[in-house]
Every structure is written in C-alpha cells, then in structure tokens.
Structure 1
C-alpha cells in the first residue's frame, strides 16, 4: 500500500526534478494501486486547464493496464482500434504516452502510479522515474 506521506513525497520529488532539469512547470498526480488519486500538485506556472486530467490519465492508464506509458504508447500504435475502444470503455481516462509510470515495491508489486504533464512526454517520464527511484521504489515506465 502506498502511504499518503510517500505519495506526497513522490509528487514533491517530481516537481524538484523538473526544476533541476529546467523543464516547463509540471503537474503531477500520484495514484494508489486502485487508481484513486492520493496527491495532485501543480508547480507554479503549470498552465493549461487540462494538465491535472492529463497527469491523472497517464497514471491511471498505467495502473489500470499494468504497464508504463511508454509501453502503452507502443501498443496503441500496433492496436489503434483496441485503444479507441479502451478510450470509450474507460471514459477517456487512459493516456497511452510516456509520463505514466508504475510504482513497484521491493517485491515487484504495483503499489501505485505517477503521471506527469507539462513538458515533452520524455521529460515528464524522466521526472517521474527519478522521483520514484529517489523515494526508494522501482519505477516501471514500460
């Protein structure tokens, strides 16, 4: 189980990593293993009305499908009809792009997911991976 204080720490670490890398201001969502939002934070200047929803959709898709956003993006290219159906089934809650990262514990179990939005998807993913690692978990970006 991902504790609230750890989820908040991961979100803070994402924002710190983004600042250290000099990327655009970020929005981060940390979800538990059931896909429920535990923490949602926006850095100062993280503009765009949809940033929170994009961050949540990156994390939710990873948790719901058990794969990081990078692998989901590859699968979406190979099976566009399936992902179009998945969009309908999930009510638009899946964003199959880099920036959605699973959080795995020492035993390899998924304890949550983190989604980041605000910069290029590769940079969003870098910040999520660095934060999950710094918090003592194993990131799974796909």
Structure 2
C-alpha cells in the first residue's frame, strides 16, 4: 500500500484541527512517502522561518533511522557522537525532537512519515498521531 494524497491531506487537516483546538503555535507539516518524497506540505500563517525545514528533518529522520524522533532523541542523549555523525553525514536531514512519526498501513508496513514543527515536541507529536489515526493508519517505531 502506498500513502495517498487523500490520506496525507487528512493527516494534515486533522493535525491542524487538533493544533488549533489545543491552542498550539503556528505549525509547519510535512507528509512524506516511504521513499522520503513529499506527498503534502503546509505552513500555517505565522509559522517561523525554519519550521518547514525542521518538520521535514523530523519526517526524514524518522524514515531514515526507522524510528519516531521521540525515540531517536532518547538514543541521541545516550550516544551523542554517533548522532552528531548521522546529522553531519545526512546534511542535517535529522531533527532530534518529538514530532517526526512513522506512518504504517493496516499490515504494519511503514508507508511514510509525518513531521510537524512549531510548538513543543509533545504537541507536535500529538498532532501528528491524531492525523495519522484519522486517516485510518497506524503509527510507531520499527521493532
């Protein structure tokens, strides 16, 4: 199964609805397919300059490392030299803050990732998960 534009739009719309309901700061969102190609992106009015880049780095990093960025941040705290090397080797395409979440189909196969940036990592991640679930998909780290 491939991630569709309709699913990506549902992820974005639901994530934004949750963000507004929770009073979040303006967000940037990136939904990538399994090959890290953009399916849909959005930047809310008022989102600061680097938010899109950070959101993309969260989504790309989750795909590239096979884990949500919350888990990657924990791993990086325990092994900072390795993760500094990964960030350098990938040209900065890895952000170590919650908000990069793997997207899985109903069979559990990773079909993409969403990255959100603009508020706290916890808020960014909660919005991403709400969007993924609304699209009828699941989320989580590769085991």
Same fold flag (TM > 0.5): yes
Tell me which residue corresponds to 1:82: 82
Q: In structure 2, what is the Cα distance between the partners aligned to 1:41 and 1:137? A: 20
Q: Cα RMSD between the aligned structures?
A: 1.2
Segments ≥4 residues shifted beyond 6 Å: none
- 1:66 matched to 2:77? The reply is no
Tell me which residue corresponds to 1:44: 45
- Give the aligned length: 141
Cα deviation code 1:30-83 (max 9, x no counterpart): 00001111111012222x111110000000000111100110000000110110
Contact 2:115 2:128 (C-alpha < 8 Å) held by counterparts: yes
Contact 2:30 2:40 (C-alpha < 8 Å) held by counterparts: yes
Contact 2:3 2:33 (C-alpha < 8 Å) held by counterparts: yes
When normalised by structure 1's length, the TM-score is 0.95
Unaligned stretches of 5+ residues in structure 2:
none
- 1:102 matched to 2:105? The reply is no
